[in-house]
Amino acid sequence: MGYQSILEEENKSVQERYALAMERVRLFLEEDTGIREPYLDYFKRTASFLLEMQEWKEHVENGDLAEKSFEEQLAYNHALYRDILPGVDGYEKSYANPAYAVKMLGDDMGGLLCFLYTELRGLIVYAVEQRMLDMTIHVELFVQILCLFEEGAPAAGAVRDALYYFVSDYADHTLAWRVREQLDPKLDFAVDIVENSDLTDLRYLFRYGEHIGENEIRLAEFLNRMPQERIDAMAYTYTHGYEEGFRIAGIDLSAKKTVNLRYSIGQERMVRAAVRQFAGMGLKPVIYRTPIARINRKQTLKPGYTSVSPNQQYEYDHRADDALFLDRAFADRKLSVLRGAYEELKQAASEFAGPAVIEVFGEEPFEPVNKPESLSLSSKQQQLSVSVSAEASRIVNAYIPQTKVSFTLIAYPLPEIGPDFEEIFDGIVKVNTLDNEAFKRVQQHIIDELDQAAFVRVTGKDGNRTDMTVMLHELADPSRETNFENCTADVNIPVGEVFTSPRLTGTNGVLHVSKVYLNGLCFKELELTFEDGMIRSCACANFEDEAENRRYIKENVMFNRETLPIGEFAIGTNTTAYVMANAYQIVHKLPILIVEKMGPHFAVGDTCYSHSEENRLYNPDGKEIVAKDNECSILRKTDESRAYFQCHTDITIPYDEIAGIVSVHADGTEVPVIENGRFVLEGCEMLNEPFGGEKKDVK
């Protein structure tokens, strides 16, 4: 049973409803219904968009666009997204823009109708996936609100209620479908594109319905020029790392049947090779796009396959749209539906092996503008959001225990990274395939020293104000136990770090980075102050107002919490990546996956072993890794609601901003690991070799 067969009965059941709703939209455009400005323009433009979606749906069903040239399909694709593309002819005068919507429609109604328009834009995806129920309920919502205005300008509360009950009442469909597409390999819309398209004909890109730009086109062209053996080798680095993650963690991969592949559109040649390699492990692909409906989204995070964002400001402007409906009743409804959806799919959940993610990087760094017109969560909603996230995490973990799954992450550049794209791509392939055995040996020297330490002191230089004391767990039997994991290239590619979960008590000081990109956002002069391992204060220099800077950090690093613990301390050892990034001046464009290997880093949030602390892990030297808990995560044994934070954000200090990393023993002995940005510990000489290389040496 394929994707369309699954939808066939449901689609037939709503055809009449859809036709009636669309007829009402047409009649509105033909008649004078009494709606006047400032609302008439909004409803006319939105109704016209819905008719455009009807045409798009018919093109998909008839397949007539497939016969058009690449240039014609590209023009049509961009027309679908013209209202959110940057510029005065696009987003600046779009009702998807909260600033424009509020300017034209007023403070209260502008935000509500902006949300409505943004949700209706999901019809682009619903049409291409032929999800008629989703199309129908959204058009019906538009008609319902249209009728309110035809009866005279309604109170904002009436419009808000219509939106609230729409999101809540249809949660058993929108949320349940999201759970199913994450677990059910029969929902093979994207798998069909990857497996059955002629990837040499780039018109396949338009089958997704996502915005297709230069990055997707040039990336697909570039991969098409590669010999198959190189594609297979790149895929093997990724799939073998996934398989190794199960072996190292002692998890039985043979008991699993599905793997989730996440990638950026344009990478299909590598993804196809990976699908076939995973098949050799007995795993079927589950491939789903980034969530569309607001109920399934979390701020600006985009799990799933996607294209490069046509407008990151648009996504940032709508990061807190759930402020319209988030209350206790809705939260209970959402959690109930989530629990029911997983219960219905519990067999598929038990067979799910985990995600295999191909990240991309190279976009121009995004520095958001905070618009007062954007929706924002109240303090009460922030607290509720945290509690819902925690409970949702517990529900998911009950059906997909983290002790029974693994993952892998790898990253490649986008053409947007600059004129040296192909050279940088080759450099990243080299970084992703560095000698694991050599790094394993060098990193063991670092671990052997740090296992003698009571704490580690990290200090910055040349304007970096970092001054941190990091407390380590006491080892009961140093001959058989270790605090640090010797991390090579398995689940977390590329190779290059040793990490631990530090003790919180006594971990104090200031962490400062001059410029860093976290969760896709730029932070300038980020400074976090810790007391007993918890964030006591925070600051940055993105905005003139200090309170606005704190809100920015709280929202996008602390995810609306008042504080977070240090969940990880690590020393990155991948100096090859660091030198290459600086040679091409792309450090600011790299993902945290690579940046975390390019210097010491701290993570705020959960430990690296969140929900899998009971798995027994061993380093290559045979010692068991015992530092998997801290004073927060250990609460899982008495009150799980206080143990986890559902986030883990790495913050790296570049080598050249490090004055020193010193291992301090209980008797006061101090052993430097890094001095002035270079490794000085005996046995680590290999790590300094790339620093002498020129650009030609790191290609």
Q: For residue 471, what are its two tokens?
A: 């407390």
CA dist., res. 229 & res. 381, Å (int): 52
Burial of residue 68, with CB atoms counted within 10 A of its CB: 0-12 exposed, 13-18 middle, 19 or more buried: middle
Question: Do residues 268 and 194 make contact, with C-beta atoms less than 8 angstroms apart?
Answer: yes
Question: Do residues 298 and 281 make contact, with C-beta atoms less than 8 angstroms apart?
Answer: no
Q: 3-state DSSP call for residue 63?
A: coil
- How much is the pLDDT for 633? 93
- H or E, element range at 601: strand 600-605
Residue 618, beta-bridge partner list: 624
Q: For residue 637, what are its two tokens?
A: 């044994």
Residue 641's CB is within 10 A of a number of other CB atoms, namely 11
Between CA 596 and CA 602, with CA 598 as vertex, the angle to 5 degrees is 40
Question: Do residues 162 and 141 make contact, with C-beta atoms less than 8 angstroms apart?
Answer: yes
CA dist., res. 249 & res. 278, Å (int): 18
pTM: 0.90
Question: Do residues 265 and 305 make contact, with C-beta atoms less than 8 angstroms apart?
Answer: yes
Dihedral, CA of residue 440, residue 256, residue 281 and residue 493, to nearest 10: -30
CA dist., res. 517 & res. 220, Å (int): 26
CA dist., res. 314 & res. 15, Å (int): 32
Question: Do residues 561 and 632 make contact, with C-beta atoms less than 8 angstroms apart?
Answer: no
Which residue bears the tokens 């290997």? Answer: 597
Which residue bears the tokens 């666009």? Answer: 65
> For the sheet containing 658-665, what is the strand order?
534-539, 521-531, 503-518, 467-471, 453-460, 658-665, 670-675, 678-679
CA dist., res. 311 & res. 366, Å (int): 10
CA dist., res. 572 & res. 586, Å (int): 18
The amino acid sitting at 139 is V
- How much is the pLDDT for 2? 65
CA distances from 466 to 527, 532, 618, 664, 669 (A): 8, 16, 32, 17, 22
- How much is the pLDDT for 699? 33
Give the tens place of pLDDT for each residue, 267-321. Answer: 999 999 999 999 999 999 999 999 999 999 988 889 999 999 999 999 999 999 9
Residues of the chain with pLDDT under 70: 1-2, 693-699
How crowded is the C-beta side of 130, counted as CA atoms within 13 Å? 21
Helices 189-196 & 268-279 angle (0-180, nearest 10):
100
Give the tens place of pLDDT for each residue, 401-452. Answer: 988 999 999 999 999 999 999 999 999 999 999 988 999 999 999 999 999 9
CA dist., res. 12 & res. 460, Å (int): 64
Residue 679, beta-bridge partner list: 674
Between CA 470 and CA 260, with CA 627 as vertex, the angle to 5 degrees is 110
End-to-end CA distance of the chain: 47
Residue 616's CB is within 10 A of a number of other CB atoms, namely 10
The full set of domain ranges for the chain reads 3-169, 182-410, 435-698
CA dist., res. 633 & res. 566, Å (int): 11
CA dist., res. 358 & res. 263, Å (int): 5
CA dist., res. 579 & res. 233, Å (int): 24
- How much is the pLDDT for 695? 37
CA dist., res. 539 & res. 547, Å (int): 9
- How much is the pLDDT for 485? 94
- Cis check for the bond before 494: say yes or no (omega within 30 of 0): yes
